[in-house]
Amino acid sequence: MSHARQRNKRRIGALAAVGGLVAAGVAVSGAFAAQSGGTPSGTGPAATAARLPGPSAATLARTLVARLGSASTAGGWIAADGSPVVAVTDGTAAAAVRAAGATAKLVGRSSDQLAAVTAALRSAPRVPGTAWSVDPATNQVVLQADRTVSSADWQRLSATAAQLGGGVRMERTESTFTPRIAGGDAIFTSNARCSAGFNVTDGQQSFILTAGHCGPVGSPWAADAADAQPLGSTVSDTFPGSGDFSLIRIDSAGVDQPSAVDLGNGSLQQITHAADAVVGEPVTRSGSTSGVHSGRVTALDATVNYPEGTVTGLIQTDVCAEPGDSGGPLFDQDAAIGLTSGGDGDCTVGGTTFFQPVTTALQALGVQIPAAGAGQGAPAGTAPSATAAAQPAGAPGGDGLQSRRRLSRHRHR
């Protein structure tokens, strides 16, 4: 292998670690969007909560929901002013939420009852081109149907929703729900390509975490389309079904795997931990096709009926994505949130994008993000301590994860 190829291979490894696999010589464009600021008037716990930055408000909301339980709550979200809100079903839970400095909203359906609604939709005959997710702000399950869904299927879905009372809201979309597959450059396997995501470790070996639809177990991966610079192979994948994630074992020595996200503007953002998403949370996504884009989490526990099959447990956002963006990271400052799965629309007209929760993938695969700074120049197979985060380069590391990737069909031109 030539020195030039060896250098390129090391560079591919580094970008894989930061999740920013890009076309040869083409950096991911865009910049990391800053969190909205502002100091609300007033004093006391509510005003204090409103002044919390996004991740702190999100952490408070998710902590309260977990502590109070699914029978007494129906999710949490970040309000327009940046303050945390928790939906509750009784006065006792409302008092606890207010005492913690968040806003309580009394609703008629608990998380358990909303889960029963989604279970009923899941048990109905499958209709490709549909998706549903929980919107805690309206205390409903939102059922969406794309343009491929026929009038007859729409009527059947409407009848099913009517049987579930006011727990379901029906919506039509103008595009189609698909995994974000398209042409481009990054890491390659047969006729597909995918942007590398989080660098992770099981304590013994090094891996790349990416989308499950990137390729089945046994898929060989290389840093170039000609397979002249092999990286490793897929050792675990989930898609469709209970998620969209896979693990590529790094078998080649000399692949650098830093724990950071490449923002495409000459700077890095380390990831210190993984976190569950909260509705309303400001998030940023990166991918090898469309670059860096920001938006907000709009719903949770989404089920998407892709043409390839049904995927459950996803995060829904209003962040745009395009073919080739699959596997890319979704993050909130130093918290890794998700991996790009699929959606509709594009970054010109906008659209809906679904993400695989990172916490779920890490737990299922038994891996973790290596410590920030570890793995820089380390050979494959070394076991840096767990971390993944997103902070400016040089920031201290911690525990967590990080992701950034995308999948696409490789088109010969």
Give the global pTM.
0.70
Query: Helix axis angle, 54-68 relative to 91-99, nearest 10°?
Result: 150
Q: Which of 213, 273, 293, 410 is catalytic?
A: 213
Query: Are the C-beta atoms of residues 283 and 294 closer than 8 Å to each other?
Result: yes
* Residue length of the chain: 413
* 189, two tokens: 């396997």
* pLDDT of the residue at 192: 73
The partner residues of 135 in beta bridges, in order of sequence, read 140
Which of these ranges, 6-20, 164-178, 279-293, 325-339, has the smallest mean pLDDT? 6-20
* pLDDT of the residue at 364: 97
* 280, two tokens: 């309303």
Q: How many CB atoms lie within 10 A of CB 382?
A: 15
* pLDDT of the residue at 109: 96
- Taking 50 as the threshold, does the pLDDT of residue 40 lie above it? no
* pLDDT of the residue at 256: 63
Q: How many domains does the chain have?
A: 1
* pLDDT of the residue at 197: 76
With b meaning 16 or more CB within 10 Å and e meaning fewer, what string describes 2-16? eeeeeebbbebbbbb
pLDDT band at 371 (very low <50, low <70, confident <90, very high): low
What average pLDDT score do residues 337-347 get? 91
Query: Are the C-beta atoms of residues 86 and 279 closer than 8 Å to each other?
Result: no
Query: Are the C-beta atoms of residues 240 and 310 closer than 8 Å to each other?
Result: yes
Is 293 part of the annotated catalytic residue set? no
In the chain, the percentage of residues whose pLDDT exceeds 90 is 45
**C-alpha–C-alpha distance, residues 123 and 29, integer Å:** 42
Parent domain of 45? 1-413
**C-alpha–C-alpha distance, residues 86 and 55, integer Å:** 15
Q: 3-state class of 158 per DSSP?
A: helix
Q: Which of 133, 206, 252, 326 is catalytic?
A: 326
What average pLDDT score do residues 363-368 get? 94
Q: Which of 146, 244, 262, 276 is catalytic?
A: 244
Query: Are the C-beta atoms of residues 83 and 57 closer than 8 Å to each other?
Result: yes
pLDDT band at 117 (very low <50, low <70, confident <90, very high): very high
Cis peptide bond prior to 240, omega within 30° of 0: yes
Is 256 part of the annotated catalytic residue set? no
Is 3 part of the annotated catalytic residue set? no
| pLDDT tens, residue by residue, 163-216 | 988 899 999 988 888 765 332 236 678 767 777 777 788 888 888 888 898 889
* pLDDT of the residue at 19: 35
Query: Are the C-beta atoms of residues 140 and 110 closer than 8 Å to each other?
Result: no
Q: Exposed, middle or buried: residue 205 (CB in 10 Å: 0-12, 13-18, 19+)?
A: middle
Q: Exposed, middle or buried: residue 379 (CB in 10 Å: 0-12, 13-18, 19+)?
A: middle
- Taking 50 as the threshold, does the pLDDT of residue 323 lie above it? yes
- Taking 80 as the threshold, does the pLDDT of residue 25 lie above it? no
Query: Are the C-beta atoms of residues 286 and 260 closer than 8 Å to each other?
Result: no
Supply the DSSP string of 91-130, one letter for each residue: HHHHHHHHHTT-EEEE-S--HHHHHHHHHHHHHSPP-TTE
What average pLDDT score do residues 381-402 get? 28
- Taking 90 as the threshold, does the pLDDT of residue 272 lie above it? no
What is the rounded average pLDDT for all residues in the chain?
75
Query: Which uninterrupted H or E stretch holds 49?
Result: helix 45-50
User: Is pLDDT larger for residue 71 or for residue 15?
Assistant: 71
Query: Are the C-beta atoms of residues 332 and 281 closer than 8 Å to each other?
Result: yes
| pLDDT tens, residue by residue, 192-205 | 777 777 778 888 88
